[in-house]
Structure 1
Amino acid sequence: MYVSRTSTPFLIMDTNDDPVSRAERALYDIQELADSTAEHHPYWILLYNCSQISKLILEKWNDDLTKEDLNEIRWMISELENSCKKLKNKVKQDSRDK
């Protein structure tokens, strides 16, 4: 079920839309959030890299991923891992400071 954070009580969808097109449009909003909060929110880099991976996958949904695509995804995953480590270290440090 779709739950909106806005006061709009319903979601209008074009019945001719395919699921990939709808996902790409929704992903655009997620990318906008990641871009607009860049470096101002502790989770922005996680959101950004996840959205970039999703964008690449959706763009290639009906095609094959290339070796370069997979290398790019692997790099973004390593960025996610690094970000998670930093967040984990911050949580540890914050708990020690209490």
Structure 2
Amino acid sequence: MAVLDDRRLWWLSGGLVFVLLAGLSVTAVGLLRLVGTFAGDPTPGMVFSVVVPYLVGLLVLAVVGIGMFAWLVLLLARHASDEFESRRLREVSERAAESEVVKLLR
């Protein structure tokens, strides 16, 4: 199968898993820091210093993850299109060969 032979697909899938795991870890660390901030006596500066980097990190991970997922979908669609085209060309060539055999037998 041509899809399994494409190294870009494997690297992209691995990268997407890495981005998703990084997103989960950023979310967990951010939530723990946020809970830790509110457990004490939070000041607006403390909350701002915890929330803003957390949200920026999540935004970057979301954009990168969505971009990688879109690339993965496009790569899979291209492979599906190539498979469909090769199957269609194979059927056309088989029909042409069959018609040549019929002409030779006449």
Alignment partner, residue 75 of structure 2: 83
Q: Is structure 2 residue 85 aligned with structure 1 residue 93?
A: yes
**Contact residue 45 and residue 80 of structure 1 kept, 8 A:** no
Measure, in 2, the Cα distance between the counterparts of 1:96 and 1:61: 43
Alignment partner, residue 12 of structure 1: none
Q: Is structure 2 residue 11 aligned with structure 1 residue 45?
A: no
Give the root-mean-square deviation of aligned CA atoms: 1.9
List runs of 5+ in structure 1 lacking aligned partners.
Answer: 1-40
Instruction: Count the aligned residue pairs.
Output: 58
1:60, distance to aligned residue in structure 2 (A): 4.2
**Contact residue 49 and residue 76 of structure 1 kept, 8 A:** yes
Residues 77 and 60 of structure 1: is their aligned pair in 2 closer, same or farther, counting only changes over 3 Å?
closer
Measure, in 2, the Cα distance between the counterparts of 1:60 and 1:76: 13
Higher relative contact order (CA 8 A, sep 6+): 2
List runs of 5+ in structure 2 lacking aligned partners.
Answer: 28-56, 91-106
- The two structures have a TM-score, normalised by structure 2, of 0.47
The residue correspondences of 1:1-98 to structure 2 (distance < 5 A) are 42-64=5-27, 66-98=58-90
1:44, distance to aligned residue in structure 2 (A): 1.8
Measure, in 2, the Cα distance between the counterparts of 1:85 and 1:95: 15
**Higher mean C-alpha deviation, range 42-51 or range 57-66:** 57-66
Structure 1 segments (4+ residues) deviating >6 Å: none
User: How many percent identity over aligned positions?
Assistant: 9
